[in-house]
Amino acid sequence: MRNFIKKRKIIISLIGLIGFALLVPPVRNYFVVNWTFRPVYLLALSFALAFFFTPIIRVIAIKMGVVDKPDARKVHLAPTPLWGGLGIFTAFSLVIIYNFDFSLPLKGVAIGGAILVAIGLLDDKFGLSAKIRILFQLLAAGIAIYTGARMTFLPDTLWGNALEITLSLIWFVGLTNAMNFLDGMDGLCSGLAAINAFFFGLAAVGTHQNFFMFISAALCGACLGFLPYNFRKGKSALIFLGDTGSTFLGFTLAGIALMGDWAKDNYVAVIVPIIIMAIPIFDMTLTTIMRIKEGKVKSFSEWLHFTGRDHFHHRVADMGLGKRRTVQVIHLIAVCLGINGFIIRIAGPVEGGLLLTETAILFILLSFIMIIVKNQYDYWAKIVSDLNLMAEKGKSPEKN
């Protein structure tokens, strides 16, 4: 065991040294000039920094008592430190600050993301109310929108601007919470964010938006650097993202989607960000509809406070796949959706329409699967509950 810990410390130190070596001006300047390899440089740098900082933050979280304890609605079995998202945020921020000139919209998204990280740190430590969290999410979104990270597809009129701002607020707050809701299994949220960022970068290449390709590469690398501590073969996670990480990732991905111009003379491609981010959007939408239909949620306040094991990843796991395979299946679906989004970007209107239809059919099938699995789960849960009730009353099933 000691040898294993010693080897792990050596690997962390070596990768950390590589990361700091990549920050040396001559190395950095080479990749700044050589744009072909710059995305690889940014990805490698953010990976190395996140890989180095995450175990340090883990020690700090343990010493400060920021630990997530198991309960009935959670799938982990041992107390696990939070604040893992701070490692991603630190690595991503250092790479962005050191390598980019900030545009005004990027400043807004960066400030909004920092606000959510600060609130996330407090929430993971003290447990803030849902109303306080949503208030600061609206503040962060408002700052990003004010600086120019917003939808711009309606006429430049009072009603057009008002509707764009409203939709942009819904987009930011919705995706921020959607990624938070998906942070329920080891590696799920961080791996999904890495995949989403990768395909945003790929789409940026197709639209000649090098700036967003570089930002996406940095975010993807930071997520990948955190992943070895959160998604381990045959072992539980060493650290969780916490609200610090999941809300930051959702907000930042939402900002990248709004800052970029993904259509570029192809009106069908406007939907590219929605397809890339389809899994968190799908999970939040269907889960909300099912909760309202079943009477579990009757107001916005109840929606904010409601927690349960009824999300997409829970239903997939209930099919008997297990936690690790469930995460892998969802990641594969995300890759397929990312490929669809990229192809739609370069396809013509007819081909793009067909791919949109295919994507819609996929989610209709997933919806049916979720509903069927839920019904089966509820059926067997009722049987087990009835048997337990009979046992408590001293009766046997055969006598009833």
**Share above pLDDT 90 across residues of the chain, in percent, rounded to a whole number:** 44
Judge whether residue 1 has pLDDT over 60: no
Beta strands in the chain (DSSP E): 67-68, 80-81
Banded pLDDT at 230 (limits 50, 70, 90): very high
Q: How far is CA 187 from CA 17, 84, 328, in A?
A: 25, 12, 9
For residue 237, the SS3 value is: coil
Instruction: Give me the residue spans of the domains in the chain.
Output: 2-396
Judge whether residue 201 has pLDDT over 80: yes
At 316-354, the pLDDT tens digits run: 887 778 889 999 999 999 999 999 888 887 777 777 788
Q: How far is CA 304 from CA 83, 296, 300, in A?
A: 22, 12, 6
pLDDT in the model for residue 210: 79
Judge whether residue 81 has pLDDT over 50: yes
Judge whether residue 140 has pLDDT over 80: yes
Q: How far is CA 133 from CA 82, 180, 192, 266, in A?
A: 17, 12, 23, 37
More confident residue, 167 or 207: 167
Cα dihedral across residues 307, 308, 310, 316: positive or negative: positive
Which of 92, 37, 50 is CA-nearest to residue 255?
92
Residue with tokens 């792990």: 8
Judge whether residue 398 has pLDDT over 50: no
pLDDT in the model for residue 310: 78
151 DSSP assignment: -
Judge whether residue 307 has pLDDT over 90: no
pLDDT in the model for residue 394: 60
More confident residue, 136 or 374: 136
Banded pLDDT at 112 (limits 50, 70, 90): very high
Judge whether residue 145 has pLDDT over 70: yes
List beta partners, residue 43.
Answer: none
Contact 41/31 with Cβ under 8 angstroms? Answer: yes
At 55-79, the pLDDT tens digits run: 999 999 999 999 987 765 555 567 8
